[in-house]
Copies of this chain bind each other. A is one copy, B any other.
Amino acid sequence: MQIRTATIADFEKIWPIFHAVVSAGDTYTYPRDTSKEQAFQWWMQVPKRTLVAEEDGEILGTYYIKANQLGGGAHVCNCGYMVSAAARGRGIARSMCEHSQELARELGFRAMQFNFVVSSNHTAVKLWTQLGFETLARLPEAFLHPSLGYVDALVMHKKLA
């Protein structure tokens, strides 16, 4: 598996992953009916860089990296990761997160912050914790989960510098 910068053409294969994750509505705060055009803007254009995890020409996962704030807060980055349903359980998210930490250091970021990890997303919370992220806050009832109702979201953080 290779993790590389995404091209515009890759979005045709990124979109089904994005759409499956977002329309499920249980992990991200993108609207569940986010259009392909809006997804392209948010996932491919707004971030500093978007990458894909590729194997035999198939895209198994994707992530973005961007500054979490502008101005005096631009030295802390934020990332988002998505894995295709078919590739779950193979450590793709772990590989992408490790890759993103290296990339973040190369880009000069001093820390990485996840602003909104849905607390019921136990796989993500466990993985980020294993990878050295600290939970700095639990945002009470910050996320309306489609089946669980209001659940907390976590602010998670890792120093890189």
Contacts and interface: CB of A to CB of B under 8 A. Distances in A.
A75 B142 CA distance: 8
A20 B119 CA distance: 39
Interface stretch (A27-35, A47-55, A58-66, A99-107): A27-35
A86 interface: no
Interface size class of A (residues with CB under 8 A): 35 or more
A73 B138 contact: no
Contacts of A146: 72
Given A137-B137, A155-B155, A143 B28 contact: no
Interface of A: 22, 25-26, 28-32, 69-76, 110-111, 113, 115-116, 118, 136-146, 153, 155, 157, 159
